[in-house]
Amino acid sequence: MNEEFLKRLPAIIAACPMKRARSTGEMTIDSAAIRRAALDTGYTHRISRYDLAQAMTSIGAASHTKTSGGRRYRFPDAMSKAAALDSATAKVQRTLANHKEN
């Protein structure tokens, strides 16, 4: 997994528009929005589907559906953008700390 992308992921998620899942009310985000926000925040490297899926899984996001905007990810139990962002930030810090230990 690209460590630089993982470090920037909370800022990228903060810049993305989120929607609410109809069935559960959880916050969702699509991969096209993540890629656009990554460019807007200055991340210029290519983001493959695999890297994106791996990064989103590591921060606790689950695959929700596939749409015209690409794969949509949901943040379990996050009922607001702030809750999703807080959860993602905490998990990124935990993941980076685990990488440093190994």
* Whole-number Cα distances in Å, 22 to 41, 69, 70, 72: 29, 17, 18, 13
Output the pLDDT for position 34.
95
Mean pLDDT of the chain: 90
Do residues 80 and 88 lie in contact, with contact meaning Cβ atoms separated by under 8 Å?
A: no
pLDDT digits (tens, 9 = 90+) for 50-62: 999 999 998 989 9
pTM comes to 0.85
- Write the CATH number of the domain with boundaries 3-95: 1.10.10
Q: Residue ranges per domain, the chain?
A: 3-95
Check: CB of residue 12 under 8 Å from CB of residue 37.
yes
